[in-house]
Each structure stands twice: as structure tokens, then as C-alpha cells.
Copies of this chain bind each other. A is one copy, B any other.
Amino acid sequence: MKPKDDRKVEAIAAAVYRLSARHGLSSVTLADIAREAGVATSTLYVYFKSREVLLDEVYRKAKTATMTRYALKDDPAAPLKARVRRIWLNMVDHRLENQHQMAFLEQFYHSEFISETSRALGLRMAAPFLELLAAGQKSEQLKPLPLPLMGAAIMGLAKETAVLLSRGDLPDNEKTRASAFQLCWDAIKA
């Protein structure tokens, strides 16, 4: 008997990312995915029960990897501002390095395809970050506004910064990042 091939699952996920970025998630068909991943359409059903499950599982994978990446080199002992900066820079860098994946993640999150459990996953994974912000509010370093608003401000600015950097509208260097983060920090600091 032949064991399931993990590399095939990887290839399928990568195909979904690429196609989402290229033509938009809602036009990604199983035939497209299969072709792009180099397998037969029916093979997708060996790994996933249905199109819905496939997308959901790919989403979970990508979301988890993304959140892990955001926490990279985060030092829990560092001061608040340094930690937020670290995470914010991680967001920007990860977006620049994984544009396809992010394209999928965003489209899926805003689509009707996403399941309730997957939507919940997003929130669950963001929890540690929101707790960091909550601590910052308690120590009166951050504005006492609702956490979702604070979080959205930070992520939204990271996203827009990444877009501008990748488009070349902004020079991709330390200075640019520093001033963009300045905007972010000014927004949230108390």
C-alpha cells in the first residue's frame, strides 16, 4: 500500500494560494487546483472530502502558520513598544514574503465560503496579541479603546504599508518602516 503524500498536500495548498492571488478565490475551481498542483481532480478527494473542506483546511494551515510567524522573535520580557514594533514588522515582512498566501487568507475570510469554526479560529489565534494590547492599556501606555478597534488599526496599517512597499510606492528600507510604524504607534499610544 502507498502512504499519503504530504508533499501533495503542500502542492495543493500552494496551488490554492497562487490561483487565489491570480484570478480571485471565487473563480478557483477544483480543476484549476488539480492542474496547478499536478494531480488529477479526483485525487483531491483522496485528501479532502469536498471543495469546502479543502478550502477550510488550507485556510487553517495558512492561518496557523501566519500567526506563528507574527510571534517570531517576540521577546515577552521586552518593553511594550518594542514588542508591538517587533510584531508589526513581522506582519509587514510576512505579507511581503507571502503575498499569495495572504491574498487567499483575506479573500477567504471575507467570503461566504468560510465556516463558522474557521472564522472562530482567526479570533482564537489572535488572542495572545490582543492580551498584549490589553496589558498595554492597563499600564496606561495605550489608549483605552476597544481591543478590536486597536487591533484593526494595527493590522490595517501593517497591511497598507506592505501594499505600498511591494508596489514600490515606498522605498523598501528601515527608515520607511520606522516612519510607518510611527504612524501606527501614534494612533494607539495613550
| Chain A interface residues toward B at CB < 8 A | 23-27, 106-107, 110-113, 143, 145-146, 148-150, 152-153, 156-157, 159-161, 163-164, 169-170, 179-180, 182-184, 186-189
Contacts and interface: CB of A to CB of B under 8 A. Distances in A.
B157 A149 contact: yes
Best-buried of A23, A146, A149, A161 by chain B (most CB within 10 Å)? A149
Contact of A26 (B26, B184, B189): B26
A110 to B, nearest CB: 6
A182 to B, nearest CB: 7
Contacts of A159: 152
B156 A157 contact: yes
A110 B187 CA distance: 26
Contacts of A149: 157, 160-161, 164, 170, 180, 183
Contact of A111 (B26, B179, B182, B188): B26
Contact of A148 (B26, B27, B111, B164): B164
Contacts of A152: 156-157, 159-160
A145 B107 contact: no
A183 B188 contact: yes
A96 to B, nearest CB: 15
A76 to B, nearest CB: 26
Contacts of A148: 160, 163-164, 169
B110 A153 contact: no
29 contacts: A23-B112, A24-B111, A24-B112, A25-B26, A26-B112, A106-B110, A143-B179, A143-B182, A145-B179, A146-B169, A146-B170, A148-B160, A148-B164, A148-B169, A149-B157, A149-B164, A149-B170, A149-B180, A149-B183, A150-B183, A152-B157, A153-B153, A153-B160, A153-B187, A156-B157, A156-B160, A157-B187, A184-B187, A186-B186
